[in-house]
């Protein structure tokens, strides 16, 4: 879980204009293939509901979604 939190922090820094290297490195080491940046909790709920309906299971091991508050 700590590694995933580090990945989320690295993606947030990248989304705010920082370097992409740390996020890429952590994504590779964690096996993450997709990151979904969402603005609000309702967006997170909608994406999770859609993914569970399409894929049948949520979350898939290679995908992470989380609420990102922007700037």
Q: Above 80 in pLDDT, residue 66?
A: no
Average pLDDT, the chain: 76
| pTM of structure | 0.58
Q: What is the pLDDT of residues 17-50, one digit of tens each?
A: 899 999 899 988 988 887 777 888 888 788 777 7
Beta bridge partners of 35: 64
Per-domain residue ranges of the chain: 2-67
Residues of the chain above pLDDT 90, percent: 7
Evaluated on CA atoms 61, 62, 68, 71, the torsion sign reads positive
Under DSSP, is residue 32 helix (H, G, I), strand (E, B) or coil? coil
């Amino acid at each position: 879980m700590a590694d995933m939190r580090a990945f989320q922090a690295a993606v947030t820094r990248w989304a705010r204009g920082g370097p992409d290297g740390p996020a890429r490195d952590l994504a590779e080491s964690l096996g993450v293939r997709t990151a979904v940046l969402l603005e609000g909790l309702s967006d997170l709920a909608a994406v999770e509901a859609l993914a569970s309906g399409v894929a049948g299971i949520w979350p898939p091991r290679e995908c992470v979604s989380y609420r990102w508050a922007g700037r």
